Amino acid sequence: MINTKKVDLIIVFLSVLALFTFASTTEYCDLEGKISIPMKRRPDQVRIILNGGEHITFSLRNGDFKFALLKSGIYFLEVDSPDYIFAPIKVDVCTKGKAIRAKTADETFQSVKHPLKLLPYGPKIYYEKEPPFNLFKIFKSPLGIVAILALFTILILPKITSNIDQEELQNLQQQREASNFVTNYWDTSFLQCLSDIPICLKTIFCPCLVLAGNKAGADERECNLCDCLCCPREYFTRQQIRSKYGFEESVLMDCLMTTPPLLMLALCQDARELKARKDMK
């Protein structure tokens, strides 16, 4: 019969022999490096991470760091710094009996000698930089468009209208007065916003009051606080004015006129029209 004690001893001996053989073939190496930041003698302490947190260490005040007794293998090194961006490093630690080799794990794949000297790409930017001043953006804004239209009304429109015969203008005005001010369109153009300075200033500085006043005028009632707080939409007010005074129907024109770039002009035109109609009564 086989002696079981001898078999157990043989198994234990072979296991110990295999363990020592594996331990003798496994290499352990120290991975060293230095964090170097230009224009800074003593960089702040940063965290150096291997394989996503398998090994973690911190740099010293002079920037040196060290991972002691690392098993041979491939490691992925990252530098966690709150102020600077570092390239990730792929490190080959003593595989196949070779020395430590490393290269960047970005698109450049630059070799890095051991001990590793890690330089930052640049500082981290947590806030977006304020764009430089651009004068053209001012003219593209709604207020810029209104200002351009106002300048056009002040400087260019008078020169255009000055060529019209004054006698013809008087005849047209007399015809309107004779017809009891009944027309199928607004009495003044939307570009003549400066023909009534008080309404123009009120529209610029208190547009909600003009919105409320136009709605109340179209309803033929007094303006109240609720009108000012609710700020009724000017599109519906213009539609109501058209229906009330028999103006030509133009949904598209009212929609365009009440868009933000042209809203101020539409407010002035409606306020002048309602005021003129009220004065004629």
**Number of domains present in the structure of the chain:** 2
Q: Which of 18-32, 125-139, 261-275 has the lowest mean pLDDT?
A: 18-32
* 184 and 100, same domain (yes or no): no
Distance separating alpha carbons of residues 191 and 87, to the nearest angstrom: 61
Pick the more confident residue, 271 or 99.
271
* 145 and 246, same domain (yes or no): yes
pLDDT number for residue 155: 67
Pick the more confident residue, 168 or 18.
168
Q: Is residue 257 part of a domain?
A: yes
* 113 and 139, same domain (yes or no): no
Pick the more confident residue, 121 or 22.
121
Q: Is residue 156 part of a domain?
A: yes
Q: Is residue 128 part of a domain?
A: no
Pick the more confident residue, 42 or 120.
120
Q: Is residue 19 part of a domain?
A: no
* 85 and 158, same domain (yes or no): no
pLDDT number for residue 2: 47
Chain mean pLDDT for the chain: 77
pLDDT number for residue 77: 93
- Flag whether pLDDT at 221 surpasses 80: yes
Residues 24-69: tens digit of each pLDDT: 456 778 889 998 887 776 777 889 999 988 999 998 888 899 998 8
* 47 and 81, same domain (yes or no): yes
Q: Is residue 12 part of a domain?
A: no
Highest mean pLDDT among 11-20, 30-39, 196-205: 30-39
Which CATH number belongs to the domain containing residue 76 in this structure? 2.60.40.1120
pLDDT number for residue 56: 92
Residues 152-180: tens digit of each pLDDT: 766 676 666 566 556 665 676 666 555 54
* 145 and 51, same domain (yes or no): no
Residues 76-119: tens digit of each pLDDT: 999 998 888 898 999 988 876 677 888 888 877 888 888 888 88
* 100 and 196, same domain (yes or no): no
pLDDT number for residue 47: 92
Domain with 74 in it: 27-123
* 147 and 244, same domain (yes or no): yes
* 101 and 236, same domain (yes or no): no
Q: Is residue 187 part of a domain?
A: yes
* 213 and 244, same domain (yes or no): yes
Pick the more confident residue, 124 or 187.
124
* 161 and 240, same domain (yes or no): yes
Measure CA of the first residue to CA of the last residue in the chain; give whole Å.
133
